[in-house]
Structure formats: structure tokens, C-alpha cells
Amino acid sequence: MRLIIVGPQGVGKGTQAKILANFKGIPHISTGDIFRDNMDCHTVLGEQVQEIINHGSLVNDEIVNRMVVDRLSQKDVQDGFILDGYPRNADQVEFLDQFLDQRGQAIDLVVSLVAPKEYLVQRMNKRAQEEGRSDDTDEAISHRLEEFERQTKPIIDLYEKRNLVVTINATGTIDDVSKTMLAMLMTRLS
């Protein structure tokens, strides 16, 4: 099973992806984790990412695509994976499609987690207080939600045209959202 989990910042993508990965026995692949692993191991790509981040810029598609392809080429993803944070835009969707097609594979399903903006802002403000996250300011939160609407939300439309999207309301408890997600996936993938 090859899944993508998508949604705005603060909706619980990482939490739900980990739960689903444990349930299905497949790797949860987060672009943030890939970046950190490459930076920690001082790979060439990791050093490029570190320099980009140090300048306050976003990592460009070429580097992100290369890192994801490297990760998706490892043995542990042969039976499936859950992508979290990738693809983020239409160009990355096209790149991923081409890569998987060359391997005789395709995305099986896209889980779209949704919640009202006010709920997301409240969750991220709470996270900032609990975890001491300086990157969760009101301005930064608003900017990230706008970026999601502008760049990432359109990929959901691309996957909806392929009838691959399952939309899940993420405003409940972690357990409630997980149970709903697992039940919907079992129905769709059976």
C-alpha cells in the first residue's frame, strides 16, 4: 500500500501517519525527518538543505525530489509507505508519478485531513506553548496556512480526479480520528 497523508499545519498528519504506519507495518516517510537525517549525517544533500534553511529559504523541489527518491529506493518501502509532507505541489506530484511509474507502482490512496482554520490556529498556539516552539507565532501560522491553501490544497484536486482521496474530519480526539481513518481505509482498500 502506497499512501499520501495531506492536510494543513496542525491538523495531525504526523500523528495519524505514525498510527497508520504501525497498523499497516509500512514506513512513515516525513520530508522533515528526511531533511533532519540528511543534515545529521552530513550528506551532500543535507549540507545543501542546511545552507538553504540557514538563509531562511524553502528547500527547492529539485532537492526535495532527490531526497524523497533516495528514501523511496530503500528496501523497507518495497511493500508500501506513507508519505507525509510530500508532494506539496503539482510539480512534485508529477515527479512522484513518473518515479513510481518507472517502478510499475502508483499511489493507492490519499488521506486528506481537514479542520477549520480557527481550530488549527488554536492547536498550533497550544503546541507552541506546550513545546516552546518559537516557529509557531500567529504570523508564521497564518503564513503556513496560506501556503497550504495556495500550493498544497490544489494537489488534492489532482488526486480527487483520480478518485484516490479519502477526506477525514480531524477535529476529534487522536483515537477518534484514527478509528475513522482506519475504517475508511479498510472500506476503500478492501
Give the model's pLDDT for residue 71.
93
Residue 51 sits in a domain of what CATH number? Answer: 3.40.50.300
Give the model's pLDDT for residue 124.
85
Cβ–Cβ < 8 Å for 100, 106: yes
- SS3 state of residue 84: strand
Domain with 183, as residue range(s), is 2-189
Give the model's pLDDT for residue 100.
97
**Residue in this structure with the C-alpha cell 475513522, named with its chain if needed:** 180
Give the model's pLDDT for residue 11.
93
> How many folded domains does the chain comprise?
1
pLDDT tens per residue across all 190 residues of the chain:
999 999 998 899 999 999 999 999 999 999 888 888 888 999 888 888 888 877 766 788 998 999 899 999 999 999 999 999 899 999 999 999 999 999 999 999 999 999 999 999 888 888 778 877 666 677 777 878 888 888 888 999 999 999 999 999 999 899 999 999 999 988 887 6
**Distances from the Cα of 70 to the Cαs of 74, 92, 113, in angstroms?**
7, 15, 27
**Residues sharing a CB contact under 8 Å with residue 8, sequence separation 6 or more, in sequence order:** 115, 120, 144, 145, 148, 149, 152
**pTM for this entry:** 0.88
